[in-house]
Amino acid sequence: MWTCPKCGSKVDPSFEVCWSCGTTPDGVEDPSFVRAEDAGPIEEPPVEPEGIVEDPAAVPIAVDEELVECYWSRNVQEAKFLSDQLIEQGIPAVADEVNLRYYNPMGLPLGPYFGPRIWVRASDRDRAHAWLEEYDREHRQHFEPGLAD
């Protein structure tokens, strides 16, 4: 640490000028120094990774093409995650926003096969299904190593 000769602030040795007033350890003031309190926010454009879609809902799905169900997920979060992953693969997809398991008039669970669904264009079904099968294989290997095959 060094002490600023102008304002007396303690300054980390990695700094060439005082963080508080812009003075060097030798007492020379930096004419371009601006205090953080006096500077406005730094405007930087947001950086978007290539290939990632900011708003999955903006991915066009042809109105004249049939949507088909291609996957039953475990919960709404997984359905959203997987539909976003498919979109990143160039396969437009949408996910149910509700877990159908909870919509039984008697209040009883409907069973394990009524979770939220993922929908894709009929022409993309095979490609989406192949990607989702690979996801399931990797998921089983990670969480259930004995059942990986």
Rounded Cα gap, residues 16 and 18, in angstroms: 7
Given a cut of 80, whether residue 145 has pLDDT beyond it is no
> Could you tell me if 27 and 98 lie in one domain?
no
- The percent of residues in the chain predicted with pLDDT above 90, rounded, is 28
> Could you tell me if 30 and 67 lie in one domain?
no
Tens of pLDDT, residue by residue over 109-129, are: 555 556 788 999 999 999 999
Given a cut of 80, whether residue 93 has pLDDT beyond it is yes
Domain carrying residue 63:
56-147
DSSP bridge partners of 121: 67
CA distances from 75 to 101, 104, 113 (A): 9, 16, 11
Question: Own/partner pairs for 76-85, CB < 8 Å, 24+ apart?
Answer: 76/116, 78/115, 78/116, 79/115, 79/116, 79/117, 79/118, 82/118, 82/132, 82/135, 83/56, 83/118, 84/53, 84/56, 85/131, 85/135
Given a cut of 70, whether residue 78 has pLDDT beyond it is yes
Q: Give this prediction's pTM.
A: 0.48
- Residue 48 falls within a domain, yes or no? no
> Could you tell me if 61 and 114 lie in one domain?
yes
- The percent of residues in the chain predicted with pLDDT above 70, rounded, is 70
> Could you tell me if 127 and 69 lie in one domain?
yes
pLDDT at site 148 = 47
Given a cut of 60, whether residue 13 has pLDDT beyond it is yes
Structure tokens given for 78: 């997984």
Domain count, the chain: 2
